[in-house]
Structure formats: structure tokens, C-alpha cells
Structure 1
Amino acid sequence: MSNRLRLKLLAAFQSFIQSFSSSIKRKLFLVMMLLTCLPLIVLTVVAIRNAEDRLESEITRSNLSKIEWTGSFVDDQIQVLDQILFSLMNDQAVSTFMDAAQKPDDPVEFPVQNNLFDKLSAQYVSNLKSFDEIQLFKKDAGRVYAIRSGEERILNDQGSVAPWNALGGRKAAFIADPDPGHFTMYRSIYRFIGRDLEGGIALQVNWSMFNPLFESLKSGDSAKILILDDTGKVVLEPMVSGAATAVPEDIITRIHGHSGDHFYKSGKYYAFYQPFAGGKMTLVKLIPTSVVSESGKNTIWFSIWIVSILIVVSILFSIIVSNKATAPILKLVRAITWTEETNSEIYIGHERQDEIGLLEQKYAQIIKSRYQIHIEKRTAQLKALQAQINPHFLHNTLQSIGAMAVVKDVPDIYHIIQAMSSNLRYTMKVGGDLVELKQEFEHIRNYLVIQKFRFKDKITVEWEDDSAAGSGLIPPLSLQPIVENAFEHGFRNKRGGWVIRIKTTWEPDKLRIEIADNGTGMSEQSEFELKERLSRNIEDIIESKESMALSNIHARMKTQFGSEFGLEIESEWQSGTRVTLVLPNLSAQGGGFS
């Protein structure tokens, strides 16, 4: 950057700062912009980050469960194959054949050989979908007896699927075939007496028998399913033709480290893995980390649009408020200037360069004049005006946002803003000790609109209204805390759909309002403790410092109507909670007990 350009930028910056230092209106506008826009931006960034974290957590939890289940099922299938090997090893015909001494050049009696092939063929035919070939190796004869595609073959060294020279051990061994569609599973056969090695038996297993499991594990086109051997080499990528996906070295290192969590996040992939076949092979699922960012794009764009709208509203709000806040000051300055021209001149120094500095100068010039009391009164009124809070302004602002949502064709935002605006208007206008029940129900419906917007299709609300109860009277804002408790406590750990039932019963001398949910409910101990707190004296409840909505509503009703009225609570663990408000049967038309 050249010095000339640097000086121009510095001069522009100084001019910008000077423009704010000389105007209280601009200062106020800047402060209000910072106070309104910065929190919105920060909250949006945090919300987007939290959404990505939740999505990542869900991906991790669901895929860990899937891969553990799939690995366990693959192990079960391999155990079935091992049982086939074991049963053949212990078959009498096979044992007799293996125990008989035989040199490489000795002929095999046809009945014995035919009986052996019959046993091998029977297993082959019974498991056509599981393996393609059975081989039996007789060490002393140096021959391999095989069944493949229903054909009986006797082999020497060529065509063997198992490394017969590496026989040994008591457990099944595994080796990857050159053909990527198969792997070989083999066992060593020992003489019953003397435990001498007689040979081995092997199955050429078809990987396709596991394809239904691999298909259920794969989620989306971007996920990769791989089978690694104990050296970290990819031996199979199911349902994919062509070259296998390269596994990053850090993932292979993590798998070989035998970490117990079966999950690793690298720079490029989420890796989920599950060893099987006694640790000789590992099932791996790779999901690109870009899945989270791609899935969160809609959320990000939605948040950007909302924040943009709110920033525009904040700018308009800041302009209006700064103009209104400084207009009285400018008006007072003009009035004081006129007074200065008609009274004695008194000079007073001042240091500030904005409108307040000018006000100080003009005010000092007439502080001893006959207008002193009038000016002090105007100053007090001005300070009161600046400190005044008008809740109707917030209501009007919400209405403006709702109108903008209609113009922008965002009906969901319009409905949620309307619900918020109606609830705010209700809390501002509600007065007196009692309101009609239908007003409280309308307030609850608006509250549930907001909750349904938050939780989408999880909430079901069932109303059972007694038509005669709509004109009944109830203390204002008595129902929302109870419905809110259902979301805060009942549904917090509840899986599946959420149901809230609101029922009114109009009795000859009482009005009952039941609010029930299908949440997690309370244990017997928790329900007992809650009822103990509600059964205390009204004075103890009122004087208690604890913040508990049910206690407050209960105490309020007992104080207003008598000890026979209040709350009744029933709860069952994992089934839900029902709260019943018992009120006197008051009517808006009758004005007293019906």
C-alpha cells in the first residue's frame, strides 16, 4: 500500500470519527446499532455452530450404533461358517479319510473318495449363497479335494485357495483372495490321537452374502464402506466397481491402535470402524466431513435472512429513536438561543463539541435569569422522556416485522410474530384479578403456536372444551406456566411424539381445567415432595424465596378463592403428568357464583 493511499484512508477515518464526535445524534445511533446488531450476529454464529455440533453428534451416535450392530452380525455369520468347517472336520467320513495313511502316488479307493465328495457336496449345495468352493487338504498325500460349481476336483499345488504350508493353530484363520469378491476361511485338522497335523479344510467365502448388511450400513452416496485386513490394506469396497477408496494414514493408525471408541474424526472423514473375524479384518465406514457443512447450508441461509431482516429493522429503529431523543435537545437549544438574544450576555467556557456542549453554554448564560425554574423543569422532563420505556413500541415493532414477513412471503415468520405480538398485547392489557377463560385459552393457543414453530411436527394438542366454560372467570396468566412446565420437565427427555390435552369441565359449583401431557412424568418420591410443598401454609409459600410456578399459582388461587380450591397433581413415571385447576364456578355474565 502506497503512502499516499495510506494517508487518504487515515484522513477518511479521522473525518468519519470527527463526524460522530460532533453529533450526539450520530453517537446515539452508533451505540444503538452496536447494541442491537452485534448480539444478533453473535447469537446467529453461535446458533449455526450449535446446529453443526448437534448434527455431528447425531451422525456419530447413529453410525456408531449401526456399525457395531453390523460388525456383530457379520461375526455371527462367520461363526456359522466356522461351525460348518468344524462339523466337516469331525464328520466320520472325513475323519476316516484323513486318518488313513496315503502317499502322494498312492491311488485312492473309489468308494472312499466318492463318500468324501458326497459329504463335501452336501455342505456345498446347502450353502451355495455363502461360499463358492470347499477344499480339503490331505498333508501326507499332498492333494487337495475340492468342490466348486458342483464339480469335484482333485488338485495338487495349483488352484488352492488356502496357504496350506502355513497351517497351524486351533482357531479359524482368514486370508484375502486375489479375487476381490471372496476371502478364504480355513482350519487345521489334527489327528485325534497324537495331535499330529493331518491337513486342513477351507471355504472360499463370497463377500456378497454380507451385501444386505453393507447396504443397511451405507447412508447416502457420499458414504464409503470398506473392509481392511490386519495390515490396513483395503481388501474390499462393497457394491463399488473400480479402484477402492484410499484410506488416510491417520485413520489406519487409529484403527491399529485398538481404540475402544470405534470412532475417529480426521480432516477429511468421520471414520467408524468395527473389528470382526477375531480382529483379522475391520469393517470401516467413512463419511466426508463436508456432509455436516452441506446439511447446514439451509439453516445458515435461513439464519442470514432472518438476521438481515432484523438488522434492517434495528437500523430503522435506531434512526427513529435517535431522532426522537435528540429532537428535544435541538429544540431547547433554539429556544435558549432566542432567550440569549433578549437577555444579558454571560460568557461561560465549554469543552464539548456536540449538542450537549452547546446546551451547556446556552444554559450557563441564562442560569441566573428569570427562566431558571422553567429551564430546570424542561431539563427534568427531557431526562424523563429519554428514560421512558414504552412497551407499545415493541408491540408495534413486532407488527411491522410481521408485515414485512407477509411482503417477503415468509408465512411461518408472520404466524410466529403474530403469536408473539398477541401474547405481548395480552400481558400489557390484562387488568384486574380475573379474566374470561376463553381469553386465557387464546393466550395458550398463541404460546403453543410458538412452541410448534420450535419443535415442528412433534407436538399434538387435544382440546376438550365445555362450551359453557368459555365465559368462566380465572386469574390471568394461570395456565401458561403449567403448559410451559410440560415442555421444560415433561418433554425434555421424551422420545417420540408429544401430546398435550386440555380439558374443561363445568360443574354446578366448580370449574375444572385439566392440563395433561404424555411426558416422562415424575417418580413417586418427586411427586410426594411436590405435593408436600403445595400443602404448606399460604404464608410459607408466599414468603419462600424459591421460584416455583406451581406453588405460586396454588397460593394465588387459595388466597383469592379459599382453601378448597387450587391445584391437583397426578403423575406416573414414564407415562405423563396431569395438573387440574379447581376454581369456583364464576361467570362473566353472572359476576358471582353460578
Structure 2
Amino acid sequence: MKRILTFKQKLVLTYVVLIVLPMSVLGMGAYLLYSDTMEKKVSDFVQQVAVSTASNLEMYIRELEQFTLMPYYNKEFQDTLTDDSPSPDPLHALEVKEEIEKTFSFWQSQRDSVEKITYFSKPGSGEQRVYSTGFPYDNLKAEDAPWDERAFSASDRILTYLSLHQLANTGYAQRTEPTHVFSLIRKIYYSSTMMETAGYMQVDFTLEDIGRIMNRINREENGSFFLLDQERRVVFASQPIDEGVLEHVVGQPETAPHAPQIVKLNQQNKILVRHPVGKMGWTVVGYVPVSQLVSGIANVRNSMILIGLVCIVLAIMITTTISHRMTRPIYKLIGLIRRVEAEDFQIRYDDPPRNEIGQLIRSFVRMSGRLDETIRHLYQAEIVRKDSELRTLKSQINPHFLFNTLETIKMKAEIDEADATVDMITALGKLVKSSLHAGKDFMTLREEQAYLLNYFYIQRNRYGSRFEMTMDVDEELMDLYIPRMLIQPLVENAFYHGLEMKQGRGRLSVAVSKEEEAVKIVVADDGLGISPERLQQIRSRLDGGTLKPSDGDDNIGLVNVSARIELYFGSPYAMQIESKPGEGTEITLLLPAITSESEVERYVSRYHRG
């Protein structure tokens, strides 16, 4: 069986999807963007380190170039150094050699990285001489130097460079560990012309200063850097070099781009940079394993995942709480609906929420209350209608009134002429005929007036001039319809409860007028009136909706009239009672102005529907 999700479950699921999915997409996008940005920044940083290192090395080489200019700072020494004329005195030649090499040693002491200074006279120009610090060379000539003397001599260059090489061993001592040096070779000119080459001065430098420059950048956060020469030999490396990196760099042509590259070596990605050092023909090479970079990014990723999980848990908790608060009134409303389905209309909902659901709940509670009121109203209306029909069948004229009327007719027949008796019997017949006619629910004011005039005629014959009775109806209102025998019970109530027990002459008036779109009927008497307590009881009974008259009720006429107005017309049409003890009572009826029988049928249908 297919499971149906509840509204609350759907709401929570929707919230979770709308929160988790965007957060996941944004988180993944942010992580990838951060990874790419970090990779680019690291690549740029490593490239800047390589460029900066190359620049420092070039500055260092320029300092060394300045060092090779030392012979030119002393013209006398320059002349002595470049003197290649034969010496007749061997002892003097030895003294000159010692003086020159002593000067070389002094220069060497000025810079720790200077390993050796050697001077070669130019071949083919006078006596061949070699001056050198340290152990002397036996039979060493310029042609035997590791640099190409002929090519250098023929070129326009005044300075050449010799990359990493080993110092030549002397014949007097054998070095246990060869010293690796690089050399700068400068042409030395005769001081007289400064145009003709007299010889060459070779200065050999150790890698000590190079090591200090390289060690400043060979840190874990910077990656690993090393120095290559033109022949792809490692000049300096403070750390073991990854064989894959070395093979890759050596295998690349010199024209390879110097921009950062990401290469895969030994199943591992590496960021590789390179930058030339200039005149020496060296290249600074640096590389950073991507795994080293990813390790930092992984921490960021893990932190983002943790934060994302916390946010998701909080989102689920918040959405569950919100959905519970949103659906709780709905479930309560469902409970109220089930109570109404079980015919329990007495429902309440205290403090509904102030939103659309709250409006729905308030509307439903009001609807239920009105439905309950309507049902009770229908029930009471049905009772009133049945009771009214029963009473109509029996009679709507008080037996006491009929008895007194017959007594009057009897007395009148004894003392008066037969004509008066006939008139009274005729008037009584019309009354009885009208009161017992149950076929019509409405009559015109003209018919109601005729009925009341017959009633007044009988009462005048009974009481003589004791009461003054008047009826004032505008002629334009005569054809308007009102419920049948609506005024007569009020008139009869005025006689028997207000005027009959009054001492002296009494007055009763019926006035019918039009007030805006309604008909106003006022029945007033100057009889005994009604006490405030009794008047309050009557009003409460009429206003409280207790419309069913009971047997023996001395206000049956008032209740019957009020009930019929309520059932026929409803609000705002009603009956009002005003009374003061000793001054009289005034009853006001406010009815709709009904001008046609079609309107009558509409109100009759409303009455029979309740």
C-alpha cells in the first residue's frame, strides 16, 4: 500500500530539500572555487619566490663581477700583473710572483666565498706567467683552463662565466673531496692602452653564498627550490630533489615557458615553476606538491562540511519546530470539524494564531455558532408554527371575550330594538369569520382596519363611552400587506391588561405610518401600564429568543406577535414595548413595506422554512 505523507511531513521535507540542496551546491561550489583560488595563489606565490630568488642571485653575480675589477683599482699593481717581459733575474721574478699572489690572498680574505684567484697571461704575447693563491700549478697554461681561451679572446666580451666545476688537483696534494666552484673570468688589459688584452683573471667562488640565498626560500611552506645550469646539472639543492621533477625539467627545452605548470609525476600532481638567472645561464626551479596544498584545503573542506552538517541539523530542528507550530492549529481545526460532524456545535478555540489559518479557524468557529443558532432557531420556529396552527384551528378569540360579548347581545336584545342586536351580531360574525379564516397568511392594511373597526364597534357597545378608540392609517398605505391578525392581539392585550381595570375614561389608538422603506405601527393606551420588573421580564423573554408561548401565559398575544415578526422578517424588523406604571403602554411594530403578492410569497416561504 502506497504510504501517504502527512502535511507536516511534506512541509518538513520541503524545507529540508530547499535548505540542504542549496547549501550543498553552494558549499561544493565554494570549496571548488576556494581550491582553484588557492592553487592559483600558491602557483603565483611560488613563481614570485622563483623570480625573487633569481633576482637576488643576479645581484649577487653583479657583486662578484665588481670583485673581478680589483686589478684596475691600482695602476701600479695592474702594470706589475700585466708585465710579460722576460726577467733576467729569476730571484726578482720570484719576488714579483710572491707580491702578486700575496695581493690575491688579501683580496680573497675580503670575501669568504672566494676559493681561489688565478691570473693567466695571454698566450703568444711575451713570457707566459701564472699567478694563483693556494697551491701552485705545475705547467698550467691558459690553454688548459676549463673555459675556451681562444673563443673568449676572439669575442668582444670582457667577462665570461664558468658554471659548476671541480677545482683541479695539484701535484703536491690530493684532495679527499673535490671542491665544486663556479668561476668568473675577466680580461685584463694593459694599463697603457686599455684596449689590448694582457691576460685573464679567473676567480673561483664556492657555493656558500648561493646556499644562503637558496636556503632562505627552501622552507616547507614555500616548497622546494634548486638551481640548474645550462647543461641541466644541479648547481645547488639544499634538499633531495624528486627524481621525477628533475627528469621532467631536464627533459624540457630551454625555450619552455616559465609560467607555473601543474604536472603529474610519480602519480602525484606538482606545481612546477622556473625562472632564468641571466648571465650565468642558471635556472631557478621550484616545485610544490599539490598534496601539500590540498592538506590545507582539506582542513577547510572538513570545516565546511562540519559547519554544513551543523547548519543542516539546525535547519531540520527549526523547520520541524516551525512546521509543528504551523500544523498544530490545522490538526486542532480538524478535531473541531470532527466534533461538528458528530453534531456538536458548541466548539471553541482559545487564542487562534494571527495568520490565514487563524482567520480560517475563527471563521469556522463563527460558522459553527451561527449554524447552531440557526438549528435552534429552526427548532423553535417549528414549535411556534405548529402551536400557532393548532391555536388557529381552535380559535384565536379569547373565550372570555366571546362570553362577555354574548352577554351584551342578550342584554341589548331585551332593552333595545332588534336593529341594534342585528348590527352587533353582524359585527361579531365578521370577527369570528376573520379570526377563523386560516387560509391566508397575509392581509392588506385595509382588511386589517375593517377587522379592527368591527372589534371597536363591539367594544363600544359593551363599554359605551368609557373608552375612546381611534385608528389612523394613511390612505397610501392601505394596500400594503402585513401578517394576518397582527394588530388585533395587541389591541385586545391593551383592553384587558391596561384599560379594563382603569378607573375613568381610557384611550386606545392605532397609528400606521411609513418610515423610510418600512411600515411603522404604533398601538398605544393610557391604561395601568407595566411595572419595570415585569417589563424587564417581557423584554428579556422576547430578546432572549424564547418565542414559544405556553398555556396560561397572560402575554401570549405579545409573544405570538414577536415570534411571527421574527420568523417572517428577521432583523432589523421587530417589536418594541415602552410602558410606565399609571401612564400607559406603547407597542411599536416595524415591518417591511410589502406592496405585492409576490413579495408576500417570499416571506411566507421564509416563514414555512423557519
The bucket for the TM-score relative to the shorter chain is 0.3 to 0.5
| Structure index of larger Rg | 2
TM-score, scaled relative to structure 1: 0.46
